[in-house]
Amino acid sequence: MGFKKKTIGFAVLCLSMMFTACGDDSSTAPRGLIHKPLAECIAPAFLKKGDKVALLSPSYTVPDSTIQKTADVLKDWGFSPVIGKNVGKLDAGKYAGTAEERAEDFVNAIKDTSIKAILCNRGGYGTIQLVDLIDPKIVEDNPKWVIGYSDVTTLHAMQTKAGVMSIHGTMSSSIAKTEGKDDNSTLLRDLLKGEVPTYKVPKHEFNQTGKGEGILVGGNMSTFVPLVGASDIDVFQDDGIILFMEEIGENLRNIDRMFHSIELHGVMENVRGVILGEFVSSGTDLDYESTEAMLSKYLKKYDIPVICGFPAGHDDVNLPIVMGAKVKMDVTNDGATVSFDIKGEKKTIDTDKLVNKPQLSKALLKMYAGKTFDVEE
């Protein structure tokens, strides 16, 4: 009799599991059950007078004069610049040394306890070559600010996966050009010293209203999309994220392809809000009035807030934002706010009033992004 009861019970369990499996449609599964939540990151210590900041080139090379000008700006800010030993090297005509040399500079700066932040000199291409050369445990055990954008998006993902916040912001290539006097640079300086911004963003016709909260991930689309589903630093398939996207020099069909790629990987099921940054020189190969118009068409089916035209990316205004931080976004018909859950002195920045005079030509911006090379200025 006991055997029959066990047999019947086992059969019921098997049938239950079979029906559950057959009925598991991930497209209708409740949010939060798709993947594990992305862990909150810790904020590295803010900088104080005399702290060392490493100047590194993890991607393409830059002239020595650019690095020296940025070093002078850091001194004016009260910091002590430390130039990586390999930044002046050249490999394959573009890289600042081999992948091993660039990784060596990064690892040395991370392990050096006297260095409190790493400022990348420029983007271009090459950080994806460093992923397997950097032990994430070293990053986890030595939290410090890593600053940059464009190709540095890979390093932001690595930092976030290791549980450490980083700053998507301006780099030496721009700081040297403006002598650190533009809003992008001064806001970065203030953030490094502990002034945490809350951004007020003007309304945009393609915004989607609502409130969202999650861990900020993303950056340059063509840099982070290859990480999705194929990397140990894939932070895009964890639940509870706010996705930031920007791009330069890509035509609309490529942006369309990249967005649908992250959809096919299930990323959008984990997204609690989207921040669209600047899309510079996106092209006119498809009949949309803008990149935002095209992406808005796809984002409408998701019940999440969307901010368009956030001034970060490859344009004249490139505001510092904290990757890996918990952010809150509130989008209304009158505009939007983005705030970071980080301890520090809070200040509100009205982005509509930040109108930097163009410092870099669009051709140079594209060159720094690694999109074109035969540029003279």
pTM: 0.87
**pLDDT in the model for residue 359:** 53
Splitting the chain (377 residues) into consecutive groups of 10 residues, what average pLDDT does each group show? 42 41 38 68 98 98 97 98 96 98 98 98 97 96 98 98 98 96 97 98 98 98 96 94 97 97 97 97 90 97 97 96 98 98 97 67 58 38
- Show the domain range for 211: 38-352
Nearest to residue 60, comparing CAs of 123, 131, 128? Answer: 123
Give the CATH number for residue 136. 3.40.50.10740
**pLDDT in the model for residue 36:** 82
Q: How far is it, in rounded angstroms, from Cα 351 to Cα 301?
A: 28
> Do 74 and 170 touch, CB atoms closer than 8 A?
no
- The DSSP H or E segment spanning 217 is strand 210-220
- Does a structural domain hold residue 289? yes
- Does a structural domain hold residue 31? no
- Does a structural domain hold residue 92? yes
- Does a structural domain hold residue 1? no
- Does a structural domain hold residue 24? no
**pLDDT in the model for residue 39:** 87
Residues 6+ away with beta carbon under 8 Å from 32: 239, 240
- Does a structural domain hold residue 376? no
Number of domains in the chain: 1
- Does a structural domain hold residue 374? no
How many CB atoms are located within 10 Å of the residue 318 CB?
Answer: 28
